[in-house]
Structure 1
Amino acid sequence: MKKITYIIILFTLLLSSGCSIHEASGKTPDYRPLVIAHRGASDLEPEHTLSSYKKAIKDKADYIEIDLEETKDGQLVAIHDDSVDRTTNGTGYIRDLTLSQIKNLNLAKGEKIQTIEEIIKTFKLSTKYYIETRENKNGQITMEKQLVKILKKYNLIDRNKVIIESFSEKSLKKIHSLDSNIPITRLIRTQEVRDIDDKALKNISKYASTIGIKAKLANPTILKKAHKHDLKLHVYFTNSDKSNNEGKLIKSCYKIKVDGVFTNNPASAISKLPKQTK
Structure 2
Amino acid sequence: MIRVLVVSGALLMSHAGDAAPLPPSLRAGPPPGLPVIIAHRGASAERPEHTLLAYERAIEEGADFIEPDLVATKDHRLVARHENEISGTTDVADKPEFAGRKRTQMIDGESVTGWFTEDFTLAELKTLRARERLPQLRPANTAFDGQAAIPTLEEIIALAKAASARTGRVIGIYPETKHPTHFQKIRLPLEPVLLAALASAGWTSANDPVFIQSFEVDNLKALRGQTEVRLVQLMAPEGASADGYSYADMRSAAGLAKVANYADAIGPERGLIIPRDKDGVLGAPTSLVADAHYAGLEVHPWTFRPENFFLAARFRQGANPVARGDAEAEIRLYLEAGIDGVFSDSPAAAAAAIGPGQPRSPSGDNRPGN
The alignment's TM-score, normalised by the length of structure 1, stands at 0.82
CA distance in 1, matches of 2:190, 2:7: 47
How far apart in 2 are the matches of 1:63 and 1:277?
Answer: 17
Give the letter aligned to residue 227 of structure 1.
H
Q: Does 1:94 align with 2:117?
A: yes
Tell me how far 1:264 sits from its aligned partner: 0.7
Going by fraction, where is helix more abundant, 1 or 2? 1
What root-mean-square deviation, in Å, do the aligned CA atoms of Structure 1 and Structure 2 show? 2.8
Relative contact order higher in (CA < 8 Å, ≥ 6 apart): 2
Give the structure 2 partner of residue 169 of structure 1.
217
- Consecutive unaligned residues in structure 1, runs of 5 or more: 1-16, 21-28
Deviation at 1:186, TM superposition (A): 0.3
Partners of 1:145 and 1:178 within 8 A in 2: no
CA apart distance, 1:232:
0.7
Asked whether 1:137 is paired with 2:182, we answer yes
Deviations 1:166-194 (A, max 9, x none): 00112212221111x11000001112554
The residue that corresponds to 2:302 in the other structure is 236
5 Å-filtered alignment, 1:126-275, equals 126=164, 127-134=171-178, 135-137=180-182, 140=185, 142-158=189-205, 160-179=208-227, 181-191=228-238, 192-195=246-249, 196-218=251-273, 219=285, 221-237=287-303, 242-245=308-311, 247=327, 248-273=329-354
Between structure 1 and structure 2, the one with the greater Rg is 1
Does the 8 A contact of 2:173 with 2:211 survive in 1?
yes
Identity of aligned residues (%): 30
Amino acid at match of 1:251: R
- Flag the 1:76–1:82 CA change in 2: closer, same or farther, 3 A: same
Superposed CA offset, 1:16-49 (max 9, x none): x9997xxxxxxxx987211100011111111111
Task: Please give the alpha-carbon distance, in whole angstroms, between the structure 2 residues aligned to 1:164 and 1:19.
Answer: 26
Residue correspondences, number: 253
Q: Deviations over 1:206-261 (max 9, x none)?
A: 11010011112213511111011100111002779851426253232112121110
Q: Say whether 1:53 aligns with 2:28.
A: no
Stretch deviating more after TM superposition (137-146 or 181-190): 137-146
Which residues of 2 match residues 16-95 of structure 1 at below 5 A? 32-91=34-93, 92-95=115-118
> Structure 1's 30 and 130: CA in aligned 2 closer, same or farther, altered over 3 A?
closer
Note closer, same or farther for the CA distance 1:240–1:193 as it changes in structure 2 (3 Å cut): farther
SS of aligned partner of 2:268 = strand
1:227 & 1:68 partners in 2: Cα distance?
A: 28
